[in-house]
Structure 1
């Protein structure tokens, strides 16, 4: 059975506007397609997501349908633009809502996100990519995702105002290499966990 990857695009723009973060994610998808990984990008700004840390907050909250796709996936990539050197508010909200499910268990009694692989994809025109990646990857690890090496792929361009990711022709050699490492390392580790999941001994809730 093919691996499944879900991208959460935490751009503040709806799908009516072009998103550099989505362009970055589509470049990761190019590698996944070659590897036979099924993937989908979800633009969170297109959904009504309530504030809080519960699985289902209120009538009209659309997070539960997004969560079901995350639960069905083997790989989760959280993508965010940078604002004042930080991940977007939607990225923070996504981590908070994922955290709300961290007490839910799988059939072995482990956290529901065990044996899933996490990664971060970041775009911007300013510093802060490593800071945002550290925040995202720690959050994912804390709730049960496994983090491979070199899955903090980003592009920020030159210091100061300048062209965005898509305007810059989809980044440069550094970002292209980072995208490839993210795709292959998440793919390899997800395959390993499919064949040899983390034993339940010592880590059930």
Structure 2
């Protein structure tokens, strides 16, 4: 079973809270025998647009092919001003072509894929972002089963936080291990 995780952190080089939460969840995915690949979007050239292939070549067609090959699609994003990141928005817009296919009366190329959401922030916004992404997934043919979101709001995620990766992982383990386990189990069950 294969999952693709689109990591929409704005940080290209330095450690990201969202990347650390993805790493934490990854242990639970592995326990469920779910192989996964993390694609750090900020490390790729993804131009704005609403089609899979644009006039200017970029990395999106290869990323899209990986989405097609996976059974599970996870969007991982930090919260910026009560919304998902601009990196994730570019991907949502590039997936608009899938919606065009559906509007023509054809089956979605993403039918029977399972979706989930991973969100980090230091204040409010998880429910809003999860709802928006779940709605988007449903609109393009991706099924969102119960318990397939992992949202962590914690002041330790603040932009100027000096917490270490070890502190983040301990906090997640102490407070979100049960949620991560439930998410991994639900993804596996739904993907079967």
User: What is aligned with 1:98?
Assistant: 95
Query: Which residue is 1:189 aligned to?
Result: 190
Whether 1:13 aligns to 2:11 is yes
> What are the equivalent positions in structure 2 for 1:130-141 lying under 5 Å apart?
130-141=127-138
User: How high is the TM-score relative to the length of structure 1?
Assistant: 0.82
In the alignment, the residues of structure 2 paired with residue 159 and residue 17 of structure 1 have an alpha-carbon distance, to the nearest angstrom, of 16
| Cα distance between partner residues in 1 of 2:98 and 2:84 | 21
Asked if the contact 2:17/2:157 (under 8 Å) is kept, the reply is: no
SS in structure 2 opposite 1:84?
A: coil
**Where in structure 2 are the equivalents of 1:105-184 lying within 5 Å?**
109-158=106-155, 161=158, 166=165, 167-168=167-168, 169-171=170-172, 173-184=174-185
Q: Cα deviations across residues 61-114 of structure 1 (Å, max 9, x unaligned)?
A: 110000000000000000000111211111111111122233448xxx521010
- Paired with 2:157 and 2:54, the residues of 1 have a C-alpha distance of 40
5+ residue gaps, structure 2, are: none
CA RMSD of aligned residues (A): 2.1
Higher helix share: 2
- Structure 1 131/159 Cα, relative in aligned 2: closer, same or farther at 3 Å? farther
- TM-score (ref. length: structure 2): 0.88
